Homo-oligomer: A and B are copies of this chain.
Amino acid sequence: MTNIYDIAKKAGVSPATVSRVLNNKPGLKESTRQKVLQIAKELNYSPNYLARSLKKQRTDTIALIVSDITNPFFTTLARGVEDKASQNGFNVIFCNTDEDIKKEKAYLELMLQRRVDGILIASCSDGKTFSLFRKKNVPLVLVDRRVNKPNLDCVTGDNEEGAYQLTKHLIDTHNIKKIAILSGPLTLSTSRERIQGYQKALYESSIKIPENYTVIGTYKEDFGYQATMEFLKKKGPKIEGIFAGNNFIAIGVIKAARELGIRIPEDLALVTFDDFEFASSLFPFLTAAKQPAYTMGSLACEFLLQRIKGEKIKERREVVLKPEILIRRSCGCQR
């Protein structure tokens, strides 16, 4: 591929001058500027970003690490990130961890080697390995999921509030008391906070629930299905409502209920975190706490870019975005 030297030779100037022209530096004779531009075009010149990055010590690239881009929540979040990034001349590399700590670590190290200027991460780990980045001085911003250890900017949803509202709705509006929560893993802040909101609502209404009404699993359909099956087949006091930790779990709940001929919401009320955009637009069924995923991604990216540009921000920022509570049918409203 043609480089700056080829152009220089043909234009009868030094490579330095070519570089200056190509970078729009001031103080160049207009005629040489024109000539260089002309020749660059003729030769179909494409500047080598690698060389530039190596010299300038920045790549204009960031990494986005999430569990699975296929989860509509992350898809939308990713779009928010990409838009903000590209508006600022940055590209983004996507990484899927599938909630695997080892994969996360591997990606983190790889992204470091690739010298990305910063990292956006919805971590499935405890963030122990993040100190690496502090040391190397590459900024890292948390998105969706909180991590205890380090002193990092953080953009999340208000999980506790959403869970609280959802649970309270079941209690206050539908007079339902026997509510179980099917939660994601406790290693994730989202799970812990949602459980907290759920418990707060129960507590405020002085509802005592057996411990085994809090079931810890994964954010997957299969878990929702299995856990619901167990509840519905169990003898003893009948469960009246389920709070699904996320949308995938909710699908599992619905499938299990269907299989057993249990009607939602008539026989069992259901509320969930996260919405399915497309499904809801056609079938407004699930009562859900919908998070502003796009904004979350866009804002987190903005924070990251600020850190990258070295804007002097004294302390760490923590933004908590309120979810929108969408009251639909699965809770028992609008039957």
Partner-B contacts on A (CB < 8 A): 1, 44, 46-51, 53-54, 59, 61, 68-70, 72, 75-76, 78-79, 82-83, 86, 91-96, 109-110, 112-115, 132, 135-136, 247, 251, 254-255, 276, 278-279, 281-283, 285
4 smallest CB-CB distances across A and B, nearest first, come from: A279-B279, A49-B113, A50-B54, A49-B114
| CA A94 to CA B135, docked complex, whole Å | 28
Checking B49, B79, B110, B281 against A68 with a beta-carbon cut-off of 8 angstroms, the contacting residue is B79
Q: Which residue of B lies closest to A59 (CB)?
A: B50
Main SS of the interface on chain A?
A: helix
| CA A114 to CA B115, docked complex, whole Å | 13
Instruction: Indicate if the CB atoms of A1 and B279 lie closer than 8 Å.
Output: no
Q: Which residue of B lies closest to A112 (CB)?
A: B46
Instruction: Indicate if the CB atoms of A115 and B49 lie closer than 8 Å.
Output: yes
Checking B1, B76, B115, B251 against A48 with a beta-carbon cut-off of 8 angstroms, the contacting residue is B115
CB-CB < 8 A to A78: which residues of B?
69, 94
CB-CB < 8 A to A91: which residues of B?
93, 95, 110, 114
Please give 20 more A-B residue pairs, beta carbons under 8 A apart, in addition to A44-B135, A48-B115, A70-B76: A46-B112, A46-B113, A50-B53, A50-B115, A54-B54, A69-B78, A70-B79, A72-B75, A75-B75, A78-B94, A82-B95, A86-B96, A91-B110, A91-B114, A92-B94, A255-B281, A278-B279, A279-B283, A282-B285, A283-B283
